[in-house]
């Protein structure tokens, strides 16, 4: 932990007993009866825009952290990840009902844009001082809905280093009376959209073909296997769902480690994947002019480094320190790279060796624990399960009973 410059206290925070206290938990949600633990691991080998990163990940699934570290090493061999991200602009939605003349009302709203933005910018002087605040007004006319026509007003609001739900919800609520007087309608819902498509993050990376000369394949065969695996997701939503799930294995783990809202990120990612009307993979894999594999990813990533659980949760603060990001935009870029690498890890394993082989050892340990093994018995039972190629709890229980009988 020297690399991340952690103090003894911060180190202790990462270890057992240093996590969220019951008092802190009690202030976060209602009816608290306990604190629920999950493993926190660190993925390595990440080179991003020329800088090294350690990636804290909170996840219960075996192979995710190891797979990510392995894939990051492959991309490192091609020069690492290049990333970018948009300004942190969120969408606050206002639903306007009972508008007598919706088409004309839309134009009245657009004509009053400056007035609306100026009003919104008076609400939170701090965010404006930091360089954020209201940026634009967009108005969409829904000709029909189950309750007739409606106008949907979008307030685009730069939330700087926050996830921004509070800031944008507050602004949407405050703007509503003005929207009502301009439209002659009635504002119904006022809430952010999780399809944060003004807040996209992107990553790309090259894997040299030679690095894919695995499992007895030539470099070009290795690249071809990966392209075929991607092609499956590109044409089939059933496969794309699983492909994207693997991407989110990595992204969610960092989202959770940093105290961010993983449901918001999930909602945005999957809606963005379906934006064309067909559910599509969030990554693309191609062969470049040199014959190497090149991957790219783009998705909305509304995450913050200030506010919410990022500041309340002691381990989230340490996770942010380990990452060493300057703010929300850089954090989103790291997450995009993680998503791309996690996808590479999965496709590599699936296309070359089948997922079960790599999973088996780690899975066997979980099964051994589920069967009641503890201490060094976990490894002993797991080793037997792998040897027998039967990774099942009933078998683990039988092996455990056998080993205990031998011991006593």
Burial of 321 (0-12, 13-18, 19+ CB in 10 A): middle
Instruction: Report in angstroms how near the CB of residue 343 gets to ligand MEV at its nearest.
Output: 7
Interface with ligand MEV: number of residues (CB under 6 A): 9
Residue 261 is a catalytic residue: yes
In the complex, residue closest to ligand MEV by CB? 246
Query: Binding of ligand MEV at residue 92 (CB under 6 A)?
Result: no
C-alpha–C-alpha distance, residues 255 and 353, integer Å: 29
Query: Coil, strand or helix: which one is 89?
Result: strand
CB nearer to ligand MEV: pick between 243 and 363: 243
Candidates 292, 302, 310, 314; CA nearest to 271 is 302
Interface residue with ligand MEV among 243, 270, 313, 348 (CB under 6 A) is: 243
Please answer whether residues 83 and 201 qualify as being in contact, where contact means their C-beta atoms are separated by less than 8 angstroms: yes
Region near ligand MEV per CB under 6 A, out of 43-51, 239-247, 253-261, 399-407:
239-247
Interface residue with ligand MEV among 246, 268, 304, 358 (CB under 6 A) is: 246
Instruction: Report in angstroms how near the CB of residue 398 gets to ligand MEV at its nearest.
Output: 28
Which of 26, 136, 180, 359 is labelled catalytic?
A: 359
Residue 245 is a catalytic residue: yes
Interface positions, 8-67, toward ligand MEV (CB under 6 A): 61
Interface residue with ligand MEV among 176, 204, 249, 310 (CB under 6 A) is: 249
Residue 113 is a catalytic residue: no
H-state helical runs in 135-279: 165-183, 219-235, 237-257, 262-273
Long-range contacts of 266-275 (CB under 8 A, 24+ apart): 267/194, 267/195, 268/194, 268/195, 268/196, 268/197, 268/299, 268/300, 268/301, 268/302, 269/244, 269/299, 269/300, 270/244, 271/194, 271/195, 272/195, 272/197, 272/299, 272/300, 273/240, 273/244, 273/299, 275/197
Query: Strand 150-158 relative to strand 89-97: parallel, antiparallel, unpaired?
Result: antiparallel
Interface positions, 336-355, toward ligand MEV (CB under 6 A): 346, 350, 355
Query: Binding of ligand MEV at residue 202 (CB under 6 A)?
Result: no
Interface residue with ligand MEV among 24, 49, 224, 242 (CB under 6 A) is: 242
Residue 124 is a catalytic residue: no
Which of 197, 245, 266, 397 is labelled catalytic?
A: 245
CB nearer to ligand MEV: pick between 113 and 245: 245
Query: Binding of ligand MEV at residue 232 (CB under 6 A)?
Result: no
Active site positions, annotated: 61, 245, 261, 359
Q: Which residues bind ligand MEV (CB under 6 A)?
A: 61, 242-243, 245-246, 249, 346, 350, 355
């Amino acid at each position: 932990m020297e690399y991340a410059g952690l103090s003894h206290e911060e180190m202790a925070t990462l270890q057992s007993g240093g996590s969220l206290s019951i008092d802190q938990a009690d202030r976060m949600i209602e009816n608290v009866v306990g604190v629920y633990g999950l493993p926190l691991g660190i993925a390595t080998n990440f080179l991003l825009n020329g800088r090294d990163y350690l990636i804290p990940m909170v996840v219960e699934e075996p192979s995710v952290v190891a797979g990510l570290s392995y894939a990051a090493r492959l991309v490192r061999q091609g020069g690492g990840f290049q990333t970018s991200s948009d300004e942190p602009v969120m969408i606050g939605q206002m639903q306007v009902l009972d508008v007598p003349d919706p088409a004309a009302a839309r134009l009245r709203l657009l004509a009053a844009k400056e007035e609306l933005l100026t009003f919104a910018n008076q609400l939170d002087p701090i965010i404006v001082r930091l360089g954020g605040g209201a940026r634009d007004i967009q108005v969409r006319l829904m000709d029909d809905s189950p309750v007739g026509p409606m106008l949907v007003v979008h307030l685009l609001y730069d939330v700087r280093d926050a996830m921004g739900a509070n800031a944008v919800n507050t602004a949407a609520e405050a703007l509503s009376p003005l929207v009502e007087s301009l439209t002659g309608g009635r504002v119904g819902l006022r809430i952010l959209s999780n399809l944060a498509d003004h807040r996209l993050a992107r990553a790309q990376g090259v894997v040299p073909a030679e690095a894919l000369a695995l499992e007895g394949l030539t470099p070009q065969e290795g690249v071809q296997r990966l392209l075929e695996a991607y092609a499956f997701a590109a044409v089939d939503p059933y496969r794309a769902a699983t492909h994207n799930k693997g991407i989110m294995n990595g992204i969610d783990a960092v989202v959770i480690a940093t105290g961010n809202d993983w449901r918001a990120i999930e909602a945005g990612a999957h809606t963005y994947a379906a934006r064309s009307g067909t559910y599509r993979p969030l990554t693309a894999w191609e062969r470049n002019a040199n014959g190497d594999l090149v991957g790219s990813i783009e998705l909305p990533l509304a995450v913050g480094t200030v506010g919410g659980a990022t500041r309340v949760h002691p381990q989230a603060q340490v996770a942010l320190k380990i990452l060493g990001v300057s703010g929300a935009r850089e954090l989103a870029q790291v997450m995009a790279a993680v998503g791309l690498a996690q996808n590479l890890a999965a496709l590599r394993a699936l296309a070359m060796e089948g997922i079960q082989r790599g999973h088996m050892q780690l899975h066997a340990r979980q099964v051994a624990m589920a069967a009641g093994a503890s201490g060094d018995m976990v490894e002993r039972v797991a080793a037997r399960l792998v040897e027998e190629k039967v990774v099942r709890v009933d078998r683990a229980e039988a092996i455990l009973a056998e080993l205990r009988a031998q011991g006593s």
